[in-house]
Amino acid sequence: MDAEGKPWLVDFGNAETGAGDAALGSDVAELMASLALRADPRLVVASAVDQLGADAVQAALPGLAPLALSSVTRVQLRERRSLLTELRGEVRRRLALPDTDAPVIGRVPAGARVAAAAAVGLVFLGLVAVTGAASVLDAVELDGWRWLGAALALAVAGRVAGSAATVVGADHRLAVGRTYGAQLAAGSAELLEGRASSRAAAARYLERAGLPPGTARTALHRSRVGTAAAAALVATSAVLLALLDGRLDTWRAPVSAGPLVVLAAGVYAVTTVGHVLARRGAAVPADAPDDAGDAARRSGVTRWASHIGLAALATALDAAALGAALHGVGGGIPLLATAAVYATLRLICSAVPAAGGPGMAEVTLILALTSLGEPVSSACAGVLVFRLFTFWGPAVAGSLLAGRFEHRFLL
């Protein structure tokens, strides 16, 4: 807008003659957000509907989110954080669309938080009491702490690789760092409220980054398929190599299986009670129909291969973190055998999610490692350190980030 009040359209050097529907929707969203900074949002929406049509404005609605807008517009919006909420609300009011701005991650009842804390206590104190892992952790020397530091670094790198796989699978402009934080928040939601809430939180993050709801669900299904395929790839490779190297020929009956299974069942029961308390009186997010097969068929070969490759890297890094944690507490199982065990269990958890839940994952790993000859005390100590780095610690961090991701990326 020049000094005389005359509007100008500029920057045609960045235009595309063959822009797709997604790019056009982003342009309309950017235009509406930019104009709303200088005019009444109601006037902006009314003008957009009158001149562009209801379909074009509705298609632009997913783009009215901070992460989907340009950096210049985001900077200007910091001074008017409620503007995008007003703009989206006016679009939905004028087009008679349902309101989806209600928070997914709301206040978690105190009872659910107490149940989660009780589950943490049961896992760590119960396993230490059953297996005697405390003496192993107390005996960690300097080299052991170096191994544990390596385990932490590998666990973080695995999370970053998993976030990069999500970005590639979404096929949308997403920041790996923000996606990493969103996954931490989703992990916290899984611990406190259950898997359905975790998926809803992850889907809401993608929607607020500019993906339409259907596309966001497809991206999540693609991520699940890619994770399972990557686990199968790593598990098959590691098992074959371990068999050829003679690393899996020492199987024996697991040690202390009875008490460990009872403890896992107790942790699972406490966690389930927490989920029930969290959902009482609240709308339970419904899982979308599983169209993962369609998502796989619609994905390009290059993007699909990149997604599986990054997911496989994440699985391999996690397996290396487990191996480093075991070496840090004096474990003696070769890394290749550890990778074979972990990747196989990761594949099982992809098919049966409950097997990877709190308590179940720890006990399953301990039983598998003791079957390979690892003493139960060092197996338990290594698994507790590993799960602290890959699940419990990130879940606590995610609970601190949940409000930030729920509100900052909404307003």
Handedness of CA 340, 396, 393, 162 (dihedral sign): positive
Radius of gyration of the chain (CA): 24
pLDDT tens figures, 233-260: 998 988 888 888 766 666 666 666 778 8
Lowest mean pLDDT among 156-170, 218-232, 247-261, 355-369: 247-261
281 Rama sector, left if φ>0, alpha if ψ -120 to 50, beta otherwise:
left
Kindly give, in sequence order, each residue whose CB lies less than 8 Å from that of residue 9, ignoring residues fewer than 6 positions away: none
Query: Domain segments of the chain: what residues?
Result: 12-95, 110-407
pLDDT tens figures, 159-202: 999 988 888 877 666 778 878 888 888 888 888 888 877 887 78
Residue 346 has pLDDT above 70, yes or no: yes
- Span between the terminal Cα atoms of the chain, in Å: 27
Query: What's the pLDDT score for residue 171?
Result: 67
* Token pair belonging to 332: 């003696």
Residue 293 has pLDDT above 50, yes or no: no
> What per-residue string of b and e applies to 283-300 under the rule 16 or more CB within 10 Å gives b?
eebeebeeebeebbeebe
Residue 367 has pLDDT above 60, yes or no: yes
3-state SS class at 309: helix
Residue 310 has pLDDT above 80, yes or no: yes
CA distance 360 to 65: 38
Report, as an integer, the average pLDDT of 59-69. Answer: 80
pTM (2 d.p.): 0.72
pLDDT tens figures, 25-52: 888 989 999 899 888 989 999 999 999 9
CA distance 70 to 77: 11
Query: What's the pLDDT score for residue 409?
Result: 44
Query: What's the pLDDT score for residue 322?
Result: 92
* Token pair belonging to 167: 């970005």
Query: What's the pLDDT score for residue 52?
Result: 92
Residue 14 has pLDDT above 50, yes or no: yes
CA distance 380 to 359: 12
3-state SS class at 99: coil
Report, as an integer, the average pLDDT of 109-118. Answer: 83
H/E/C letters for each residue in 148-209?
HHHHHHHHHHHHHHHHHHHHHHHCCCCCHHHHHHHHHHHHHHHHHHCHHHHHHHHHHHHHHC
Higher pLDDT, 157 or 5: 157
Q: How many helices (H) and strands (E) does the chain have?
A: 19, 0
* Token pair belonging to 215: 């596309």
CA distance 202 to 196: 10
